[in-house]
Amino acid sequence: MRPGETPAGAPAEPPSRLHGPAFAAGFALSAAGLVLAVNQVFNLGLFGFRPISTAFHYLVIGLFGAVALLAFPATCRQALRVPWFDWLLAAALAGLGLWLATEALTIQLRGWNATAPGWATVLAGLFVALVLEGVRRTGEAILFFVCLVFGAYPLFADAMPGFLWGVQLDLPGTIQEHVFGTESIIGIPMQVVADMLIGFLVFGVVLAATGGASFFMNFALALMGASRGGPAKVAVVSSALFGMLSGSPTSNVLTTGTLTIPTMKRCGYAPHYAGAVEACASTGGALMPPVMGAAAFIMASFLNVPYAEVVVAAALPSFLYYLALFVQTDLYAVRHRLHGVAREAIPPLLPTLLGGWYYLAAIVGLTVLLVAYRIEAEAPFWVSLFLLAVALLRRRATGFGWAAFARLVVASGEAVARLVALIAGIGLIVGGMSVTGVANSFSRELVQYAGGNIALLLVFGALTSFVLGMGMTASACYIFLAIVLAPALVAAGLDPMASHLYVLYWGLVSFITPPVALAAIAAAFVARASAMQTAVTSLRIGILLMLLPVFFVLQPALILKGDPAVILRATITASVAIVLLAAATEGHLYRFGTLPVWARVVVGAGALLMLAPEPITDLVGFGIVAAAILVARLLRSG
């Protein structure tokens, strides 16, 4: 597939507003922003330009925020054109970003976050308004509302009851803290995006634009397409690969699902089941190392640890989750006697590898650079450069020329712009909670209300994460909970890494859980199935997304922490438990056959006991499962 082509059967992408003069402006702003990021990350000092970090962050918001205002419409009526006022807003945001960058040193030295000139405060207020407009255009309505309320929280914090009480500021003081301070709009989330994530967003765009999507789909099809239930296994593998780059379950469904879901249906999978498999696989992509979407990089900054530690901690839970999906799709195929794709429709493995080996090399190279050399910010740029070089050398086959390069730059700018606009708005939440002191009091009071009961605290955390996840992106939900909830879990004595992964996992649960289930609903649309039936099936298939964080927060060995012998025992036990839990879910056990309902319940209960952290529960769980299988076999033979 050549860059820019749409796969057969895939719905057309909504037309971009960036064409004509808007495309030229988008290209100029995006190219300037990307060159600025490369200059900062590699400390090149191009033309002697070495801005201080806050100046760089202001420039990133100005340039890519302007792209967001041009690329994303204010209303659906402007979906195909850029009206005059959007040009004005984009120019204003770019100009304000440039002004703030030139004043960055003055802002620091003179403490403008506490006492800024009146004229500067007025301009800062306009900057806040444009940031809110950016998050309104790129995020859900509920996210805009949350950013607005918590951004304004310092104005009425002293009137709030109990642990919600905080330090009050007047309007000028609130604006100054948000714009000139380093804990709000240009706080940790924006610092992570500007300093580290831009390269990964570019890598994802380059991978797709040079034909990586087609290669990974064909590669997975060549490996597993002919096996029983092969299309479902292809969906699991390909969605995991794409999802870790995009970090967005819904967009992942609409990208890979347009190919995998129809193929699953043709091979005998029920439409709602095919949609559910794709929804679960796409949701888990945000938890899949080595990239894991944006939230994992922000997590590393909050924990003040190398990103490689987050990758290592997330590796086993991610493997167990996808093992469960893989086994369930296989058992479903066994039970319903489904076959794979016809061999004549499967691309041969060796030619597929020879035609796209460099995509696998890029993923491996990225992993090595991240984990072994720990050059998080530079790694994706080097890998992207490698892919671009290969695309240019093979331009006769890929069709990659100057026009394609220009589209790639604009597409990269749009991808970065969406995240920058969202994170700038989320920064208002962080700033509002931090400057009032509510973030610390909330977590402290939550621990007190739980009364030292870990189970009650985990339930509070799960419910909060689930509710917030209904209307926020995974990154937005995680950032909010990392401020107010994760400290409470850590204060209760739980492992910090496990606590942060806990809220990240539960923030994603709502993507496959009714009533919202955005990923499942998107998959149901592609599958032409009942939205609610698909969502309920997604919850059943992806139940491990709810269970895993509970188990690894109680047993850090599941995030590869502790004695190697304990980690090995936990890994083996958990893997066996996952297979048994999948058998209970699908009603079929390897080398046994169909399980009666009572046996499914008992086997499922035994598997859950095996996932619990104590060795005695492993033995009890295994004994229960063995007894259930033995009784079921005796009843069948009798």
**SS3 label, residue 589:** strand
Mean pLDDT of 175-193: 94
Q: In this structure, what token pair is assigned to residue 268? A: 């005998």
Q: What is residue 478's predicted lDDT score, i.e. its pLDDT?
A: 83
What is the tens place of the pLDDT at every residue in 160-170? Answer: 987 788 899 99
Q: What is residue 5's predicted lDDT score, i.e. its pLDDT?
A: 36
pLDDT band at 413 (very low <50, low <70, confident <90, very high): very high
Q: What is the DSSP letter of 374?
A: -
Mean residue pLDDT of the chain comes to 88
What is the tens place of the pLDDT at every residue in 265-299? Answer: 988 889 999 999 999 998 888 888 877 777 788 89
CA quadruple 509, 513, 514, 519: dihedral sign: positive
Question: How many CA atoms, within 13 angstroms, populate the side-chain half-sphere of residue 45?
Answer: 1
- Looking at per-residue pLDDT, the higher value among 526 and 2 belongs to 526
Closest C-alpha among 265, 329, 138, 258 to residue 525: 258
What is the tens place of the pLDDT at every residue in 32-76? Answer: 999 999 999 999 999 889 999 999 999 999 999 999 999 999 988
Radius of gyration of the chain (CA): 25
Distance separating alpha carbons of residues 332 and 330, to the nearest angstrom: 5
What is the tens place of the pLDDT at every residue in 555-584? Answer: 999 999 989 999 999 999 999 999 999 999
Q: What is residue 560's predicted lDDT score, i.e. its pLDDT?
A: 93
Helices (H), 17-52: 21-41
Is 247 a residue whose pLDDT tops 70? no
- Looking at per-residue pLDDT, the higher value among 395 and 416 belongs to 416
The type of residue at 164 is L
Q: How would you classify the pairing of strands 593-594 and 588-589?
A: antiparallel
pLDDT band at 471 (very low <50, low <70, confident <90, very high): low
Helices (H), 336-453: 349-371, 379-393, 395-398, 402-436, 438-450
Q: What is residue 630's predicted lDDT score, i.e. its pLDDT?
A: 93
Inter-residue contact 254 to 207 (CB < 8 Å): no
Domain boundaries, the chain: 192-397, 564-638
Q: What is residue 246's predicted lDDT score, i.e. its pLDDT?
A: 61
**Cα end-to-end distance, the chain, whole Å:** 58
Of all residues in the chain, the percent with pLDDT exceeding 90 is 50
Residue 635 CA, distance from chain mean position = 47
pLDDT band at 9 (very low <50, low <70, confident <90, very high): very low
Distance separating alpha carbons of residues 75 and 141, to the nearest angstrom: 12
